[in-house]
Amino acid sequence: MDAKIIVSTFTAVFLAELGDKTQLAILGLAAESKTLVPVFIGAAAAMMFATLLAVVFGGAIAAYVPEKVVHVLAGAAFIVVGIFMLAGKL
């Protein structure tokens, strides 16, 4: 295992998820249910499954599409989503 990849992935995901709508939803669920362990287990399982899907599909895409193309398409997708958000469509 490459510790550098693990640390950089953890840092990127941790910083990206801080204060996002998912974290706020989990905060609300924990406050509402007052049972923290089940909320944590459910949220952790959901994040693990979503991450598994991303890794599997990312690996499949990498087998057929060059890395540079993936980066350009991902960047373009973020720009398009940003434009839609600014226009009030999302």
Dihedral over Cα of 16, 22, 26, 27: its sign? positive
How far apart CA 48 and CA 6 sit, in angstroms, is 15
Q: Is the pTM of the predicted complex or chain greater than 0.85?
A: no
Contact 41, 24 (CB under 8 A): no
Position of tokens 């950089």?
8
The tokens for 84 are 């839609």
Q: Which residues of the chain have pLDDT under 70?
A: none
**What pLDDT is recorded for position 28?**
93
Ordered by start, the domain boundaries in the chain are 3-64
Q: In this structure, what are the phi and psi dihedrals at residue 19, rounded to the nearest 5 degrees?
A: 75, 10
**What pLDDT is recorded for position 17?**
85
**What pLDDT is recorded for position 20?**
84
Who contacts 26 (Cβ-Cβ below 8 Å, separation ≥6)? Answer: 39, 43
